Structure 1
Amino acid sequence: MQYRVQGIVIRTMDYGEGNKIITLFTREIGKIAVIVRGAKKVKSRYSSVAQLFTCGDYLFFKSGQLGTLNHAEIIESNYRIREDLHKSAYAAYIAELTDRLLGDQEAHAFLYEQLAAALQALAEDKDMQIVTHIYEMKIWMQAGYQPELQHCVSCGADSAIIAFSSGMGGVVCGRCRGKDADASDLSPGMLNLIRLFARMDIRRLGQINVKAETKDALKQLMRSYFDTHVGIPMKSRNFLEQMDKYGV
């Protein structure tokens, strides 16, 4: 069967001497793997459309588990991301999240638009960490890992929210704070930010200025929640952590 889709390359793998297998996250049919024959050859007309983070129109034939590319045209190469170490590191994390948390051939049109917008935001020099946190929240919601952010996860109160408990799965109020000694304290500003992450459409994201100490706290909160409820090892996150550790 032949498919014509708009997709973003979220993973690439060498296949044989001159070929690649790319994983596309598409608007129409979700995630799918496609063989791009000759993509590794210098003069291949398909080498550019098989690069990570490329957004394009792809035409392929699929008869089994893999598709075979027949034609492709680039919509956005996102070369500015690939040329920058920090941007490519964050984009790789976003792409790996998409690849690891979503099943094959499950269409998510809104999430596709959010991924495209997140890559565009990275290319446009918007805050890489904040863009990533917003996308993390979007894909958690889509994959069924959404934290409770409006009401106390223990008693259901919608006021006096003062902390976030990864173990309990969301925000907690002052009365329930003692039920989790490892819960992270939340300032009103941080509470507003994590709620914003859940409802923000990345396509409408402007410039957001967040204090460094607040960003550090948000990073720890988001990573703790991911490790507790998702727990998937992420090579790209390990690379980001090494960059943080050595101040790259």
Structure 2
Amino acid sequence: MALYRTQAIVLRHCNMGEADRIITLLSREYGKIRAVARGVKRPRNRLIGGTQIFTYSEFLIFEGKNLDNISQCEIKESFFKIRDDLEKLTYASYMAELINEFLPEREKNEEVFFLFLKTLHWILKGNDIELIARFFEMKLLLLIGLLPYMESCVYCGGSLEEGEIYFNASMGGAVCSRCFRMGQESMQIERGTLKLMRSLAVIKFEQLALIKTSLNLKQELERVMRSYITYHLEKKLKSLEFLNKVKNKTMT
């Protein structure tokens, strides 16, 4: 039975029997992994700390026939302050679900690993968490080859510099006023929203603080991204319903 080490972030866990849990890991070396943490629900189990949601640890794992088994884990960063803050927890859970849904198992993607790790650090700083979420979505889509097309009309290739602008998830991006009827469910968007999308696709984390935008544009971009992500996943994410409740609570 093979034994291997990997650095990984806990994406999710689910109970298995009375004492065990199946842990879904985003690993640097092997991509998404599912492994069993035996006895982790028992008090004082040595795996409890390192298998908490969002914890970044170094794992020692035995390769199993059906599921691998976690033998040891050493915490590198617990991110416990994210788990202690409902808003941060909810946004991070949404991002973790995105990764879990989009990434196949055992397909290495070191860039996505570092994107999520850095995003967790930025969530800890507590800045504009909604803008961080949009940045994360755009970068994740870029890394997995699903970034929406925004440079010209995705249908005819024409310029978007004049006239009304639309976005169509099924067509894959921005659509001009001449072509928006070609696809179903095109939504009209502000020129500022398109500009914001283009910016988020190319800037680095450190440049996020330079982005100045209105609440209306952020809300419109959220609607655009949700329609696009839902189209590609062909379902709504479970974390979105709870995220909506948390957002509505913070606004009241």
TM-score calculated relative to the size of structure 2: 0.89
Counterpart-to-counterpart distance in 1, 2:207 and 2:27: 22
Counterpart-to-counterpart distance in 2, 1:59 and 1:181: 49
List aligned pairs for 1:42-57, cutoff 5 A: 42-57=43-58
1:129 alignment partner in structure 2: 130
Residue 243 (str. 1) matches residue 246 (str. 2): yes
How far apart are residue 36 of structure 1 and its match? 1.3
> What secondary structure sits across from 2:146 in the alignment?
coil
1:4 alignment partner in structure 2: 5
1:71 alignment partner in structure 2: 72
2:225 alignment partner in structure 1: 222
Conserved in 2, the CA contact under 8 Å of 1:22 and 1:34?
Answer: yes
Letter matched to residue 73 of structure 2? A
Counterpart-to-counterpart distance in 1, 2:74 and 2:215: 40
Letter matched to residue 46 of structure 1? L
Counterpart-to-counterpart distance in 1, 2:248 and 2:81: 25
Conserved in 2, the CA contact under 8 Å of 1:39 and 1:47?
Answer: yes
Conserved in 2, the CA contact under 8 Å of 1:32 and 1:66?
Answer: no
Conserved in 1, the CA contact under 8 Å of 2:36 and 2:69?
Answer: yes
Counterpart-to-counterpart distance in 1, 2:139 and 2:178: 29
Counterpart-to-counterpart distance in 2, 1:219 and 1:163: 15
Counterpart-to-counterpart distance in 2, 1:74 and 1:7: 10
Conserved in 1, the CA contact under 8 Å of 2:23 and 2:36?
Answer: yes
List aligned pairs for 1:98-247, cutoff 5 A: 98-160=99-161, 162-177=165-180, 179=182, 182-202=185-205, 204-207=206-209, 208-246=211-249, 247=251
Residue 36 (str. 1) matches residue 24 (str. 2): no
Letter matched to residue 66 of structure 2? Q
Counterpart-to-counterpart distance in 2, 1:3 and 1:232: 35
Counterpart-to-counterpart distance in 2, 1:102 and 1:148: 21
How far apart are residue 177 of structure 1 and its match? 4.2
- Report % sequence identity: 33
> What secondary structure sits across from 2:153 in the alignment?
coil
Counterpart-to-counterpart distance in 2, 1:39 and 1:196: 43
Conserved in 1, the CA contact under 8 Å of 2:61 and 2:70?
Answer: yes
Letter matched to residue 16 of structure 1? G
> What secondary structure sits across from 1:145 in the alignment?
coil
Conserved in 2, the CA contact under 8 Å of 1:152 and 1:173?
Answer: yes
Q: Which runs of 5+ in 2 are unaligned?
A: none
TM-align CA RMSD:
2.1
Which stretch of the first structure deviates more once superposed, 162-171 or 110-119?
A: 162-171
Counterpart-to-counterpart distance in 1, 2:245 and 2:53: 21
Which stretch of the first structure deviates more once superposed, 5-14 or 58-67?
A: 58-67
Conserved in 2, the CA contact under 8 Å of 1:32 and 1:105?
Answer: yes
Which stretch of the first structure deviates more once superposed, 114-123 or 233-242?
A: 233-242
How far apart are residue 232 of structure 1 and its match? 2.5
Counterpart-to-counterpart distance in 1, 2:184 and 2:18: 54
Q: Which runs of 5+ in 1 are unaligned?
A: none
